[in-house]
């Protein structure tokens, strides 16, 4: 009977193969396979999968040196198992002999016992020859990114591309959003400290709490009561940025705000927490299943909104004809700013995707702009660092719309050092103060005489 250690490594190899060879997202592959692993081994499963994907190109370059020819297609899961084994030797505090033993045994769990000798020989040779100390064979194995993404980031960020790629390969910290209606970020840090959980705040992002170490949400004080939510600090800029850019209402009626492409609802929840009773929120998403997550998130924090299952780019199918004071367009994008959290993006995203994404972003801007009141603000946001999806999209929009003007005033001066000014809008680079990479541009609608 195989050990639990061998089984978790075998399952990790199957997850890795599902991403690398099968094109599945990491979240999907883990969700399908995690129940096969004992509860106590699930953290290890995730660590093996996430880590091996972060270092994919370097690991594969070593595999290519260790074996004479690629494994057959039907045995490609063994290639993934080798990557899992090499990752453990290089990055994890597990004795080499234990890594070799458990990984070799995993070939039997995978019903590939004839491959045990190959796996054993490769891992032992890797350790014996200290191959981890060898220089990378090419740029992709040096930076653990696909070539096209390296070139794109270098072109868009000539002074920062190395820092961006390095940050992409690191683990992201866990960020929380303190519910301002219930407690401040500082107060929530004090509550965490009382439980022995280290955390701190960041100037300029008033509700953000950064944990020194990730914790399950059921260990966080008041989480189920809505006192805090999980949300990256950079993503938390959206709600307060939009609210500060909205026109004042003198008739006592709440401001009408649209959250387009709203799922899973983190920004919707923040808008409602920060806007309070002065806000009437409408959240649109074209995935009905994902709207369920918005419902659940809003219920937990004790808020509600009008949820609409529809394509945000086709308002003629869902809009009630009443214009909005503000619109948050969290546009679909390459997600190149959140690779730390989703390392599979490096393998699943293609350069050819960018043109289609940019076209969709422009289409959404065109469709939603007529829904905005004069004097209102549309905040365009992506979790991308690629100019083709960011300032090139918003810059073109401004050039072609006489009633659009960029509001380039930051929501507060404390974030000035975090923000990189673009031709239009602002960028936070991944890793800055532990934040994800986000782009924002506030587009104000002006009256045209």
The pLDDT tens digits of the residues spanning 288-299 come to 888 999 999 999
Topology of domain 4-135 in CATH is N-utilizing Substance Protein B Homolog; Chain A (1.10.940)
Looking at residue 296, what is its pLDDT? 93
Residue with more model confidence, 1 or 189: 189
Q: Is 383 a catalytic residue?
A: yes
Considering the chain, tell me which residue range(s) the CATH 3.40.50.150 domain(s) occupy: 237-445
CATH 3.90.800.10 for the 175-230 domain, yes or no = no
Question: What tens digit of pLDDT does each residue of 349-389 get?
Answer: 999 999 999 999 999 999 999 999 999 999 999 999 999 99
pLDDT (mean) for 13-21:
98
**Of 233-237, 271-275, 421-425, 444-448, where does mean pLDDT reach its minimum?**
444-448
Question: What tens digit of pLDDT does each residue of 107-148 get?
Answer: 999 999 999 999 999 999 999 999 999 999 999 999 999 999
Task: Give one DSSP letter per residue of 375-435, joined into a string.
Answer: EEEEEEEES---GGGTHHHHHHHHHH-TTEEE----S-GGGTTTPEE-SSSEEEPTTGGGP
Number of C-beta neighbours around residue 295 at 10 A: 14
Residue with more model confidence, 289 or 60: 60
Closest CA to 80 of 47, 124, 110, 121: 110
pLDDT band at 70 (very low <50, low <70, confident <90, very high): confident
Looking at residue 449, what is its pLDDT? 64
Looking at residue 2, what is its pLDDT? 65
Structure tokens at 55: 């270092």
Question: What tens digit of pLDDT does each residue of 301-357 get?
Answer: 999 999 999 999 999 999 999 999 999 999 999 999 999 999 999 999 999 999 999
Catalytic residue among 122, 189, 261, 383: 383
Distance spanning both ends of the chain, measured CA to CA: 80
Looking at residue 240, what is its pLDDT? 96
Average pLDDT of the chain is: 95
Rg of the chain over all Cα atoms, to the nearest angstrom:
24
Q: Is the pLDDT of residue 1 over 60?
A: no
Question: What tens digit of pLDDT does each residue of 202-248 get?
Answer: 999 999 999 999 999 999 999 999 999 999 999 999 999 999 999 88
| Element spanning 281, H or E | strand 279-285
Alpha-helical segments (H) within 67-178 = 76-91, 96-109, 116-128, 139-143, 147-156, 161-168
Topology of domain 237-445 in CATH is Rossmann fold (3.40.50)
Phi, psi of 394 (to 5 degrees): -70, -35
């Amino acid at each position: 009977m195989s050990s639990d250690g061998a089984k978790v490594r075998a399952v990790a190899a199957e997850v890795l193969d599902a991403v690398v060879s099968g094109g599945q997202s990491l979240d999907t592959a883990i969700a399908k396979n995690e129940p096969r692993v004992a509860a106590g081994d699930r953290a290890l499963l995730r660590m093996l999968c996430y880590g091996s994907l972060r270092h994919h190109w370097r690991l594969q370059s070593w595999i290519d040196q260790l074996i004479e020819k690629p494994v057959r297609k039907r045995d490609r899961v063994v290639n993934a198992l080798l990557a899992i084994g090499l990752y453990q030797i290089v990055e994890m505090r597990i004795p080499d002999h234990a890594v070799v033993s458990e990984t070799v045994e995993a070939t039997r769990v995978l019903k590939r016992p004839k491959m045990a000798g190959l796996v054993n020989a490769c891992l032992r040779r890797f350790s014996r020859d200290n191959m981890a100390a060898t220089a990378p064979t090419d740029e992709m194995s040096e930076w653990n990114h696909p070539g096209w993404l390296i070139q794109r980031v270098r072109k868009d960020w000539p002074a920062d591309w190395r820092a961006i790629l390095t940050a992409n390969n690191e683990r992201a910290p866990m960020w929380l959003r303190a519910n301002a209606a219930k407690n401040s970020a500082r107060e929530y840090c004090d509550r965490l400290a009382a439980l022995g959980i280290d955390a701190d705040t960041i100037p300029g992002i008033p509700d953000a709490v950064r944990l020194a170490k990730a914790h399950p949400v059921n260990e966080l004080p008041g989480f189920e009561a809505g006192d805090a939510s999980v949300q990256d600090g950079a993503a938390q800029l959206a709600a307060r940025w939009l609210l500060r850019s909205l026109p004042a209402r003198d008739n006592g009626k709440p401001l009408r705000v649209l959250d387009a492409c709203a799922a899973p609802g983190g920004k919707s929840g923040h808008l409602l927490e920060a806007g309070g009773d002065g806000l009437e929120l409408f959240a649109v998403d074209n995935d009905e299943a994902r709207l369920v997550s918005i419902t659940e998130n809003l219920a937990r924090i004790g808020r509600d909104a009008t949820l609409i299952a529809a394509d945000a780019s086709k308002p003629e199918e869902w809009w009630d004809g009443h214009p909005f004071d503000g619109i948050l367009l969290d546009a679909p994008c390459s997600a190149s700013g959140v690779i730390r959290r989703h390392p599979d993006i490096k393998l699943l995203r293609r350069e050819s995707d960018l043109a289609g994404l940019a076209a969709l972003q422009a289409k959404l801007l065109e469709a939603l702009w007529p829904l905005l009141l004069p004097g209102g603000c549309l905040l365009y946001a992506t979790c991308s660092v690629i100019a083709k999806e960011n300032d090139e999209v918003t810059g073109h929009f401004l050039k072609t719309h006489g009633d659009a003007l960029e509001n380039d005033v930051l929501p507060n001066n404390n974030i000035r050092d975090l923000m990189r000014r673009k031709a239009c809008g602002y960028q936070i680079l991944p890793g800055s103060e532990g934040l994800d990479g986000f782009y924002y541009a506030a587009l104000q609608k002006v009256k045209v005489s």
